[in-house]
Each structure stands twice: as C-alpha cells, then as structure tokens.
Amino acid sequence: MTQAKESNFVSAVVYLRNDAARVGEFLQAVCGQLERHFAQFEVVAVDDCSTDGTADAVRAFAAAHLEKPLTLLHMSLAQGVEPCMNAGQDCAIGDFVYEFDSADLCYDPELIWEAYQTALKGNDVVTVGPSCQATASKLFYGVFNRFSRSAYAIGTDAFRLLSRRAINRVHAISPNLPYRKAAYAASGLAQASLTFEGGMSRRTGDSALAVDSLVLYTDAGFKLSVGVAGGMMLIALLELLYTLVVFFTGDFVEGWVTTMFVLTVGFAGVFAVLAIAIKYLSLILQMVFRRQTYLVESIEKIQS
C-alpha cells in the first residue's frame, strides 16, 4: 500500500560553500526523503560565493532530477554560515523548515523523516547531531551551556528542523540572529535532540561569533566582570593590610615598588571590565541600528 504523503509544506535551506564535488549526492539524498514523504516541498540553496562551480552543479542536479522549483541564492560576497542561513530562511515559505548548515552527508538520510516525526510530537525545534564532537567544540559548548540562560543545551548539529512558530518567535524576540541555534534554545519553545553515531568533518570556527554568542546568550561576561572586580578588591585589601603592618612595625621601605604594583594591577582590572562593557555596547549598537544583516546579489529560480 502506498503511504499517504504529509500535507504540510516543507522547506529545506542548504548552505553551500565550494561543495561542487558533493552537492549532487547531498541534494539527491535530501530531495529523495522529501519527495517520498511530503506532497509539497521546496529547496533553497544558498551559494556563499563559491569558486569551484557549486552553482553549476546545483543547476545540473535540478535540471536532471527535480520536478519542483529550486531557489538558488547568490550572495554578494562570502559572509559565513549565519548570515547566509538567515537569508535562506527569509526566502523559505514552508510550515516546517529544515536547516542544513553543511553538505556533509555523515548521517542516515532517514533521520530527516525521523526529525519531522519528532516535531509532530509537540517539539518546535528538533536538532540532529553527532555523538562525537571536536575538542574545541566541546570546550565552547561546555562554557556556553554552563552559563546559558536557556532551558536547553546546545551542541554540534548536522541539521535541524524548525516549525513556523519557532521561526516567528525568535524573530519577534530579535530581528537580528547572530547565532541561530542559541536563539532557538532560548526561545522558550519545546525542543528535542536526535543523535547519530560518528562525527562531522571539521570546519573552521568563527572566534568572533563564539565571543558574540557568549556575550548575548550567556552570563559569562557578567560573571567574568564580577570576578575581575572581586579579585581587584581582594588585592586592594591585601595591599591595605600590608601598608598597616609596615606602619605599625616601623619597618618603612621605599614605596615606589608597592605604588607601581597597585597602580598596574588596578588599571589592568579597570581595563578588563571596560573591555567587557565596550563589547556589550558594540553588540547593542549593531543589533539596534544594523537592520540589513546579509547581502544577496541575485535570486535564481531553477526548474526542470
């Protein structure tokens, strides 16, 4: 008996950056799952200024295999995963939206359908990630989850599925999403995670994005500033105690070394706190005044 297909419209947003060698196989697996289980779906491919013919490979695949239109976004310049995925998400119109941050097919494609079934159980966000993480990723996510203000922990994701309600919720909270997975975890909506055995191909991390996400979505910056201020106060008290001991014992020494030590350490602490405060102010300035977070060169509709 032929299985009835789901009536919900589904979008798949795929980030591509010099993936010409593997984009065909990846799209074949994704579109095969969508075609098998959904009556209506769309694919939104975001080409982040690839230089190896990725766009041509997408066109060739669409012409040979797809009956439904495929949207190909050409970014004006290489901007990274987060801005490109935000651009693709803005073009997606599905009731549910898959986000594929990479064309690395390191998991069973059946997890695409399993993620949708998990979402139907009341989860607005479903993440699918590997059981093994790189050491740097473990360290970052460990710090992030330790100081995060959200109810759900985040980790390395191969892809995720979002309901339209989740997308609307996070954009209502903030029009600018510098780090999407953190925004989803902090949205307050139900979230579930699926795990597959193995790991993902290593991708160069963005240290600026890591710092921004820690400042925006965790209390790490605030607690660090409190710790620095507390440490400076302790040093000041110890210096005061030393001064009193010298005064009462009468063992006076030249005060230049002590004075310079206090001034140096004191100013170091002040500058550390100021650096954290300036980081907060710069992020607030960007989020309030910078409305256009990505640049799209053109949008191409491809249909066989």
Q: Report whether 23 contacts 103 (CB < 8 A).
A: yes
Record the pTM: 0.80
Could you tell me how many residues make up the chain?
A: 304
Q: Report whether 161 contacts 94 (CB < 8 A).
A: no
* Structure tokens, 110: 């059946």
Q: What is the pLDDT of residue 289?
A: 47
Nearest alpha carbon to residue 191 among 234, 160, 237, 224: 160
Q: Report whether 79 contacts 295 (CB < 8 A).
A: yes
Q: Report whether 207 contacts 136 (CB < 8 A).
A: no
Q: What is the pLDDT of residue 18?
A: 92
Q: What is the pLDDT of residue 16?
A: 95
Q: Report whether 191 contacts 168 (CB < 8 A).
A: no
Give ∠ CA 129-54-131 in degrees, rounded to 5. Answer: 10
Q: What is the pLDDT of residue 1?
A: 46
Q: What is the pLDDT of residue 91?
A: 92
Lateral strand order in the sheet of 10-16: 191-196, 125-130, 159-163, 96-100, 10-16, 41-47, 70-75, 296-302
b (16+ CB within 10 A) / e for 266-299: eeebeebeeebeeeeeebeeebeeeeebbebeee
Q: What is the pLDDT of residue 212?
A: 75
b (16+ CB within 10 A) / e for 88-107: bbbebebebbbbbbbbbbeb
Q: Report whether 13 contacts 92 (CB < 8 A).
A: yes
Q: Report whether 179 contacts 217 (CB < 8 A).
A: yes
* Structure tokens, 212: 């921004």
Q: What is the pLDDT of residue 97?
A: 97
- The owner of tokens 């594929």 is 100
- Residue ranges of the chain with per-residue pLDDT less than 70: 1-3, 202-206, 240, 243-244, 247, 250-257, 260, 282, 285-298, 303-304
